[in-house]
Structure 1
Amino acid sequence: MQPSGPSEVPAETVRVARAAFPRGSLAIRVRDELGPLFHDEEFADLFPVRGKPAWSPGRLALVLVLQFVEGLTDRQAAEAVRARIDFKYALGLELGDPGFDFSVLSEFRDRLVEADAGRRVLDGILAAAGEKGLLKTAGRARTDSTHVWTAARDVNWLERVAETLRSALNALAQAAPDWLVQVAEPDWFKHYATRAEDSRLPKARTAREEMGLLVGRDGMRLLQAVWSTQAPQELRTLPQVEHLRQMWVQNFHQVEGEVRRRDPKDRPPGATCLVNPYDIEARNSVKRDTTWAGYKVHLTETCEEDAPNLITNVATTDATVPDVSMTEPVHARLAEAGRLPGEHLVDAGYVDAHALVHARREYSITLTGPAALAVSPQTAAGGGFTGADFTIDWKDEQVTCPGGRTTTRWNPDRSPEGTPVIRVRFNKSDCQPCLVREQCTTSSAGRRLTLRPREEHEALRQARADQDTDTWKERYKTRAGVEGTISQAVQRCGLRRSRYLGLAKTALQHQLTGAAINLARIDAHLTGTPRARTRTSHFAALRPAEPKLDGAK
């Protein structure tokens, strides 16, 4: 790669573009307002020092973003560079520039994935917007997540194990064909030479279970052969063989020398359970009524009235990672990029006591979101006592219950997740004669409490009190706007369906999606396009206001 500095748009390209687009276009307006968004030097580490000269990586990065803005395939994007005046204008190309072969885009994406350089594309647009005063990060930001389906087709259990075995056989046939011919059973060529979907799988449940056990026995024999002393050791390091090993460990075991399918309770948790033979990093997850196999993406954006709402951070995880686990990583990334907000609006999934304290202490951020209420069998039935009804003396390490009894049984401990907690226990002799015992506990051994450290306990208690006020509710309304951002990303860029296999490539897709949405919003800001308002049907608008209960604020 031979870096070249940012170039001016050729005069002839300017003349033709102005004539063809007298009102401008997104690509033209973005180039006029922000100038060259990327420079070749930013991607120099992705290319070798010697070899055939590469097409400008700075321009390729912009092509990738414009491709997502307009929903183009690689062929269509390469054709647009070759034939469209506004693309040539945005890229600073001569009218006669032939562009590049469409395969260059795939090769450049692979380079970005290998170096985990997708963030550079999003950061380049944010840096240019910041220089023009279009990015304001010191105020408020909001974050939400949504599910992403894997690009691989959905398969049932029988297809999953059969395709995993077929993939391993194909890899071994390439790496050690002579060895494989010696160990392969004659029936393997009949059962695994073609895709499972091309075969007539049995419909009866018993027949399908028997076929699954046959695949399990064949896979077990292959694994034993690979790990035998006669097999070349390098075969064990093949990705497809390792995938086969993991799939068989999770789905089969041997009982008295016979291969059996594992019971559901004997299988690994969702975070490690392989669910697709084509995309080994995809995971199954459930959120309310939505069940999917794939990933999850978290979008963070600014939300100021006098500037475009720009996406400042995109984080992609597998589908099983809970939202609350991403609160701190999102803050860390925003701090690293210098884009920390003063207030961060999130939904309930991102809030817990630790997150509230950590955001304030480490990043000076006010984390605003609904805190989960205390739940117990007594409160679920109504009228029971929660931890908030107990008086805590932090200095003397003792707790007084609503019935007036005090305990000093105060034991620092760790939760199953490893976080510090305090275990408090009341004596049986205190709880048995208590007049309000039924409202407090059903245990015959006495009431037990699990407390967080003081700072977290008080932060959570304050958050629960604040979220019942009208001031907090009015301020929190701003968070709802991020739902529109997810909708725009889904409809314009196909956010909820991965275009590629694997977490790294899916993460790059989401970085490019964030960059594309930012360009579209900057263009809307330049043209004075008003933000869309939440649509309410004519019938829904007639809904009468619900009457407030007595004593309600």
Structure 2
Amino acid sequence: MSVRPLPAPAVSESTARVARAAFPRGCLAMRIRDEFGAVFESERFVAAFAHRGGPSVSPGMLALVSVLQYAERLTGRQAADAVRGRIDWKYALGLRLADPGFDFSVLSEFRDRLIAHGLEQQILDTILAQCSKRGLLRAGGRARTDSIHVIACIRDLNRLEFVTETMRCALETLAVAAPARLAGTDAVNADWLARYRQRADSYRLPKGEAERTAFAENVGGDGYELLDILDDPTTPAHLSDLEAVVLLRTVWAQEYQRDARGVRWRGHKQRPPGAARIVSPHDPEARCGVKRGSAWDGHKTHLTESCDDGLPHLITYTATTPATTDDHQLTAAVHDALTERGLKPAEQYVDGGYTSAKIILRARALGVEVIGPVRQAGGRPALQGSGYAATDSRIDWQTRQATCPQGQISTRWSDTVIGGEPRVHIDFSGAGCTSGPAKDTCTTAAYRVLTLLPREEHELLQQRRAEQQTEEGKKRYHTRAGVEGTVSQAVRRAGTRRTRYRGLAKTSLAQVLTAAALNLYRLDAWWTGTPPGTTEGAAS
């Protein structure tokens, strides 16, 4: 299918007349058309379509339909029906009353094309560009960022169900790709059919620990037997490249070990870290994330919104990552993305997960002041509530010496690298610490050791720790609280807590469409003077 860029059609007189009669006070879809016109130009999506072939449905129209679909939490079929049957949608899209619309599968194909050509952000960027032209959004203001955990579109599986289901998926794939190859295997005709004929969560698994371990190791043995069959030189090579087989091989390496003693289930500490560990054969990109004691299988979405007084608060950037990605890894990405879009804020309000001395200094170099709590000093005071912390010592950066609270002067100062980051290592005299009157208060080791950040980072942390304890600092940081309303609105109105799709790419596109839909809600409230609700009070 091809795209031939054409100007968006104007709203016909008959469509406008019926729409005004049906909605004398207007509605969201109609106000979007009145304020922004066609919103999306098809030229933005030309790269996703061929230059030759039959004409496609207008990509600009499909983009707006996709956003309206998320604004009203509709399925693809319901959205296509709305294009055919709802007068407010026909008005927004500039369609005639008798326009038959399109098949709902076109929306799925359109999303696939956006992902394949990296055009997902065009949806949100177009709306933001329209707002910037009208003075509803500006650079150099304030922004705030927070993350939302997104549950994958998969069923939760325990570890035993997971390996069993992975084996079943591999067998089902091979049964379609090479039924004759499996039919000639004795094991398939005997035990495998009974063990893997239904989903792992559809029948009763062993309850006792010993029985569960034995069952898991039987499944592991079956998996290795299947992989041995596929590795046989007589087996067609393409079978080993099937996605389900590659996944089986990866999962078995994570969950089992095979040696001279046989196949054994790995202990929890022998498995790879969560960032690399697959949790479901139905979505290999989902990961198990943990935040404040809550665990979920899926992804994490980071939202950034403007929060300037006197302007609508609009979502300016969204990024979706694996659930195990730490928040601080996204701070720089947010700054770079907003700078590229001409929306770089002067102040960004975040929680402690997005801050560090290094992040704050990097942001300052870009002209952004990151405002958020930094970690308090660690050590014995933080753990036991008493004793000396590293910050209690007086640091003389010029002479490269430190003086402890008891007046002892350090004997050694060296620059080192820990975890790839520069650090300052300071030692005190063992004799002085041992004979000192506050030995038990200072350290439990033979002598005191300090590990500090480089000077600029260390002094910044000291300053921030003092500021965030003051009433002025607490009042300033209160601006960040409004982003909780954005999270609430995204969950309640757009259902962003659980993704509709499998895979990180499709989930990321869904979150972009959600952000665009929320912006339409907020613009509509701004145009109509609708006050925000109590939950969204600081966000909308």
- TM-score tier after normalising by the smaller chain length: over 0.9
**Aligned amino acid, residue 173 of structure 1:** A
Which ranges in structure 1 are unaligned for 5 or more consecutive residues?
Answer: 537-553
Distance in 2 of aligned mates of 1:52 and 1:213 = 55
Question: Is 2:306 the partner of 1:270?
Answer: no
Question: Is 2:375 the partner of 1:364?
Answer: no
Helix, strand or coil at the partner of 2:330:
helix
Distance in 1 of aligned mates of 2:195 and 2:79 = 41
Decide whether the 8 Å contact of 2:82 with 2:89 is kept in 1: yes
**Aligned amino acid, residue 387 of structure 2:** G
Residue by residue over 1:432-474, the C-alpha shift from the partner in whole angstroms, topping out at 9 and shown as x without a partner, is 1222332221111x11111111111111111111111221111
Question: Is 2:179 the partner of 1:177?
Answer: yes
Question: Is 2:15 the partner of 1:7?
Answer: no
Residue by residue over 1:112-159, the C-alpha shift from the partner in whole angstroms, topping out at 9 and shown as x without a partner, is 222232211011111111111111332110011121111101112222
Partner of 2:158: 156
Distance in 2 of aligned mates of 1:376 and 1:164 = 45
TM-score (normalizing by structure 2)? 0.95
Partner of 1:474: 475
**Number of paired residues?**
533
**Structure 1 residue corresponding to 2:41, chosen from 29, 39, 42:** 39
**Are residues 332 and 293 of structure 1, via their aligned partners in 2, closer, same or farther at CA, if it must alter by over 3 Å?**
same
Distance in 2 of aligned mates of 1:156 and 1:437 = 49
**Aligned amino acid, residue 15 of structure 1:** R
Decide whether the 8 Å contact of 1:378 with 1:440 is kept in 2: no
Partner of 1:345: 349
TM-score (normalizing by structure 1)? 0.93
Partner of 1:235: 239
Which ranges in structure 2 are unaligned for 5 or more consecutive residues?
Answer: none
Decide whether the 8 Å contact of 2:286 with 2:299 is kept in 1: yes
Distance in 2 of aligned mates of 1:432 and 1:196 = 62
Shift of 1:408: 4.8
Question: Is 2:383 the partner of 1:380?
Answer: yes
Helix, strand or coil at the partner of 1:138:
coil
Partner of 1:548: none
**Aligned amino acid, residue 506 of structure 1:** T
Helix, strand or coil at the partner of 1:367:
strand
Partner of 1:523: 524
Question: Is 2:302 the partner of 1:298?
Answer: yes
**Aligned amino acid, residue 247 of structure 1:** V
Helix, strand or coil at the partner of 2:184:
helix
Shift of 1:53: 1.8
Shift of 1:344: 0.5
Decide whether the 8 Å contact of 2:303 with 2:317 is kept in 1: yes
Distance in 2 of aligned mates of 1:161 and 1:388 = 49
Decide whether the 8 Å contact of 1:137 with 1:302 is kept in 2: no
Distance in 2 of aligned mates of 1:166 and 1:2 = 46
Decide whether the 8 Å contact of 1:407 with 1:425 is kept in 2: yes
Distance in 2 of aligned mates of 1:52 and 1:168 = 39
Residue by residue over 1:23-52, the C-alpha shift from the partner in whole angstroms, topping out at 9 and shown as x without a partner, is 000011111112221111111111122333
**Aligned amino acid, residue 401 of structure 2:** Q
**Structure 2 residue corresponding to 1:435, chosen from 434, 437, 451:** 437
Partner of 2:340: 336
Shift of 1:230: 2.2
Distance in 1 of aligned mates of 2:172 and 2:386 = 64
Helix, strand or coil at the partner of 2:62:
helix
**Aligned amino acid, residue 223 of structure 2:** G
**Structure 2 residue corresponding to 1:397, chosen from 386, 396, 400:** 400
Helix, strand or coil at the partner of 1:344:
strand
Matches within 5 A, 1:243-322: 243-322=247-326
Question: Is 2:203 the partner of 1:199?
Answer: yes
**Aligned amino acid, residue 143 of structure 1:** T
Decide whether the 8 Å contact of 2:488 with 2:535 is kept in 1: no
Helix, strand or coil at the partner of 2:432:
helix
Shift of 1:391: 1.9
Shift of 1:2: 2.2
Distance in 2 of aligned mates of 1:379 and 1:507 = 39
Residue by residue over 1:515-550, the C-alpha shift from the partner in whole angstroms, topping out at 9 and shown as x without a partner, is 0000000000000011223599xxxxxxxxxxxxxx
